[in-house]
Structure 1
Amino acid sequence: MANYTLIVMSDSHGDREIVADIKEHYLGKVDAIFHNGDSELPSSDPVWEGIRVVAGNCDFDSGYPDSLITKFPGLTVAQTHGHLYGINFMWDKLDLFAQEADADICLYGHLHRAAAWKNGKTLFVNPGSVLQPRGEITEKLYAKLDVTDDKIAVSFYNRNHQLYPALSQEFSR
């Protein structure tokens, strides 16, 4: 039985305080916390203890991996920033990355736009940016994923940990 709660943030661009706040709010209460890159913080920063973090195009510290695959019993999560997969122009390379990982969920950032969509068996989630949102949604957001055997509920929250309901969705597994 797969029941997991995941927190996903991205594109904090030097705002260490929001990373620490989200971590403090959820650490020990969820199964994993992810940061999809462009933190602009040193990879050795203690804030990363307990957070799975990847490199973004604005992270020049070589201590970050370009991607991570996290496996839980009954759930595989592929994570990357997205810039190395050309997501500004097409989704094919990111989709191939997810397929090669046999991912149930593929986390990405880079675009600063909150989104959740499914292709094949994989749910793709961009939590938006906790500092610099782009596009029609101007709220600074992160995502919470509640995973069961049957579905994945994706909810977006603002920096005050309040639900932003307009984007929340459920996807069958």
Structure 2
Amino acid sequence: MKDALLFNKIAAAVLAAALLAMVTGALSRILYTDHTPEEPAYVIATGESASAAATDEPKKPAGPAPIADMLASADVEKGAKLFKKCGACHDGSKGGPNKVGPNLWNVVNRPKGSHESFGGYSSAMKSFGGEWSYEELNHFLFKPKAYIEGTAMTFAGFKKDKDRANIIAYLRTLSDNPAPLP
């Protein structure tokens, strides 16, 4: 009789432990869901992506509103404040150093991927072609990785039209001879 009672106690303890483990597992799945962000919080540039090498011609997605009209009312001072976000990777001073990205002095109307002393351009940037016109800057700064697929630039972009107009107006001032407004 004692053996049967001991066996029942052990069996009840094992069943209770199994039930507790199942309930705990179910509750933890409900309370703690794994959420993978859509975009990485910080991306380390490692060179050209495989998708950029696979495409023959760069795609230009539909993007932001045209910049020309917005530049007329853009605020250069607000653009200078926004440029601080860029300052982690870019310098904007005349003769200034390259950082993770190229120096942006005189960037408006400069050919893409052409800063003479910067060697870290992705092949996607070098092969994209053209110059950094106001409209090109507008599209690129809206969503860099979508505009030039395979770019090493990890910045997500400026989604607000006014912010892009302000930053582009500021970039225009980074020159001894600023490009005329459109």
Q: Computing the radius of gyration over CA atoms, which structure comes out larger, 1 or 2?
A: 2
Q: TM class, shorter-chain normalised?
A: under 0.3
Give me the TM-score of the superposition, normalised by structure 2.
Answer: 0.25
Give the helix-richer structure, 1 or 2.
2
Give me the TM-score of the superposition, normalised by structure 1.
Answer: 0.26
